[in-house]
Structure formats: C-alpha cells, structure tokens
Amino acid sequence: MTGFHLRSAAPRVVARLFVEAEQAGASLCVLWLDLDRFRQVNDSFGYAEADAVIARVAGRFRSVVGERGTLLRMGSDEFVALLPAVDTPDAERMAGRLLALIDQPMPLGGMLFRPAVSIGITWRHAADDPLSLLERADRAMSEAKAQGGNRFAVIAAEPPRATSGARAARQDLEIEGVLHVSLATGDLELHYQPIIRQDGSVEAVEALMRCAVGGRQVSPLQLVAVAEKTGLIVRLGEWILLQGARCAARLREQGYRTKVAINVSRLQLCSASFLSVLHAALICTRLPADAIELELTESLFMDVSPVVQANLRGAHEAGVGLAIDDFGTGYSSLANLKDLPATKLKFDRAFISELPDDRRAFLILGAITRLAGELGMVVVAEGVETAEQLAACEAAQVDATQGFLHARPMSEEALLLWMRTRRTR
C-alpha cells in the first residue's frame, strides 16, 4: 500500500512530527480511521475481496489527506493521518469529506458495497509521547464506533492517562518491536508440550512459540495477535511450520512415532500458497504427512472462503491431521461436526477448569467425546492441572489430556530427555 508508513514505524514517525511541530510552534492533529463491519466483509466475502475494499478505502483516505499530512497503516483496516497545523473546524471538515467520499459504493463480490468508517480526532498535548497521542486518537475512534459508526468523534488535547487500553497498546507495540528483531536475528524458540493418552503413551506434542519481551515471557496468543495485526504472521508461521516439522523428524530419528501439532493462524490459511509451503516443509524434512498435525480454531473450520476450504481439504487429503483447537469457546454447532475434515477435537481449558465440580460440564464432555469418537476423531482435553480433573476426563472417556499436570512446554532438548526417561515410543 503506497504512501503509508508501517505501524512499526509509528513511534519514530510521530516523534519526528513532534519535533517539527515544536519547532514550528504548530499544533499536531491526529485522525484515526477504522473501517466499520470489516470482520463481516472478511467473513462473508473472503480475504482477497476484503483486501480490495481496504485498498480502495485507503486510496480515498489518501486522496482527502493529500499533501497535508503523513499517513500510517496501523492494522489491516486501521489508518492514521498526522496533520500539522490543522485546527478543529478544519479537521472536522476533513472528517466530513472523508465520510462522504468513503460512503460511495464500490464493487464487492458481484454487488455494490457501501463502506463506512469511524473516525477519531485529537490533538497533541504538551505532555504527550507518541504512544499516548495515538492511544487517545484510537479512543476517540472507539467512541465514534460505539455511537453506531459512520461518524467521527473528537477528544480535545488532554494530558495522557494511564488507562488499561493505553497500557495494552503500548505493550502491543513493544511486542511488535521485539518480534521484528527476533525474526531478523533468529531470537525465537519453539517449546513443546506433550499430549498424553489414557494408557500413558504420548499421543502428540504441541509446538508453542516462546518469545521474551523485557525479560518477561509473552503468551503465544498475544504474540500471534500482534503478528497477525502487523503481517509478520506469514513469515513467523512458515518458520514455525519448518521448525515443528524438524522436531517431528528428530523425534522419528530417535525412534519415536510422536506427531508434532503446529498452530496455524487465519492469515496463513487464507494464503493461496499455504499447501505449497506445507508440502515444502514436509519435503525439506523428509516427513510423511501424518507426522504433523495442524491445530486450527473452530471458526477457521467454519470459514466459508473458498481458499480456506481448499487449503483444509488439501491438507486433509495429503494425510496431515487437522485438530479443532479451543473447542467450546467459539460458535461451531454440533451439526457442523459431521462436515469437518477434522481428525482431532481439543476441548478448551476453560471447559476443563470447571471439572470435576460442574456436573453439567462433565456430562457435555462425555457426550461430545462419544459423538466425536463415533465420527472418527481423537478427543483431547487441554489445561488439565489437577489429578481430579484428569480423573474426570478419564471418566468421560476422553482419549488424551494435555496440561501442567503432565508437563509444561519444554525445549526440544528437554523434550527428548523427557521422552527418554518415560521410555515412550
């Protein structure tokens, strides 16, 4: 997308504009623009169409801001303009023009679509740093959205607050900075958590990414969320796929037939070249397809976009296992289970944490386990932390369990040692 700075450049770009505004004795206005209902567009029309919509909206944004400001792309559907010496009436006029222009219909999936945006406006306060200014603009945008969208909202220049939103935004940018460096320097590591069958054998190991920010471990979920927002996920995903496959190959070398389960994100599955990369990883490591397994959230299995469906089918036909991850947290209906090419179902930890006290949770666990079993799926319970939870899972006839009770995620070296001491094949 030409003319837009990347999100990772935001702190630097805004800091430079601070200095320039200071020297010129001028104000600095921020316009934060976010596309309304983008998720819906994405879900209904697929990734490529949604991208085309974004590109057009970005073009319209650029045409209104023109030479007057600096543009940043903050997320897949979020854009920011930084405008020196723009006062309130001027900014509101610009936002009004933007709303009118973006509202013009554009083609989408064979019909005409009227995009709408929410715009947040604010100005720099003397006590602001780049992140606090951006956070306030984001907050103004959220207000516009909360009022129904397709409008703008203004927050006057004010001293920065230490809200949880501001802290989260700050942390996101921090993680992103670390990810950029880690991906350039190889400072990333995969850890593996075993999944244990009722008979004590190892069913599989799940590959989980580890990355430290400021000496503190960042959860894989948080990492993936930031990587998705910034487009780093594709490169990261390919790296994880290859490393996970390598671990599976090394396990085989040592005589273990344990599968390695690898998490796959939505953006990876939306890529037309996903299957090529999957096969490339298998070819490079000389692995049969059934040595690895992909873990996907329920919503991905339900995704109607043809690319996602083709990728799922292709992986399944090649013999790669497909696991429904975090089952019980999304919207999948039981009726859909019959159409999914899944080979494994993983109950989310939230479900297991209710055990053994919650009788209804236990009954549902047992019933779905029987159903999934009859559909040929292996059922796994995640987040098993106590002996009581394990006993409840076993009583519900769950095939295998995963959690701190058995083992925490560990490095590949530690995993091999752990396998040896268990004498598991």
Partner 1 sequence: MDANEKDALIDVGSGGRAAVETALEKNLRAIDIPPRPLIIDRIRSEMLQDEPCFRRVGQLINADVGLAAGLIRTASSPSFGLRARVRSVADALMLLGLDVTSRAVAAISLRRAFPNSGHYVRFWDASARIAALSGWLAQEVGLPGLHAADAYTFGLFRDCGIVILLRRLPGYQQTLARANLDAKRSFTAVEQADCPTDHAVIGALMAVDWWLPDDMCQAIRHHHERSALAPAASELPRVSRLLIAVSQTAEHLLQELRGASRTQEWVKLGDACLPLLGLDEDGLRSLHAGATAIIDAAE
| Residues at the site binding partner 1, with contacts judged by CB under 8 A | 181, 183-187, 235, 238-239, 242, 246, 249, 253, 273, 275-277, 279-281, 283-286, 318
Smaller CB distance to partner 1: residue 114 or 235?
A: 235
> How many residues belong to the chain?
425
Taking the least distance from each CB to partner 1, the nearer of 197 and 246 is 246
Nearer to partner 1, 211 or 365 (CB): 211
CB of 273 to partner 1, least distance (A): 6
Q: Tell me how crowded residue 62 is: count the other CB atoms within 10 A of its CB.
A: 17
Least distance (Å) between residue 279 CB and partner 1:
4
Residue 224, CA atoms < 13 Å, CB-side half-sphere: 17
Question: How far apart are the C-alpha atoms of 345 and 325, rounded to whole Å?
Answer: 7
The dihedrals phi and psi of 40, each to the nearest 5 degrees, come to: -65, -45
Q: Which of 181, 212, 239 is nearest to 247 (CA)?
A: 239
401: its two tokens: 């369990």
- Minimum CB separation of residue 235 from partner 1 in Å reads 6
221 contact partners, CB below 8 Å, separation of at least 6: none
Min separation Cβ 40 and partner 1, Å: 24
Question: Of 185 and 333, which CB lies nearer to partner 1 in the complex structure?
Answer: 185
Closest to partner 1 by CB, 33 or 240: 240
- In whole angstroms, the minimum distance from the beta carbon of 179 to partner 1 comes to 12
What is the spatial distance between Cα 268 and Cα 233, in angstroms, rounded to a whole number? Answer: 7
Q: How far is CA 11 from the centre of its chain?
A: 22
CB atoms within 10 A of CB 273: 12
> What phi, psi does 235 have (nearest 5°)?
-65, -45
CB of 280 to partner 1, least distance (A): 4
49/203 with CB nearer partner 1? 49
Write the DSSP symbol of residue 127.
T
Question: Which of 2, 421 has the CB closer to partner 1?
Answer: 2
Burial 40-55 (b: 16+ CB within 10 A, else e): ebbbebbbebbbbbbe
CB of 227 to partner 1, least distance (A): 13
CA–CA separation, 348 and 329 (whole Å): 7
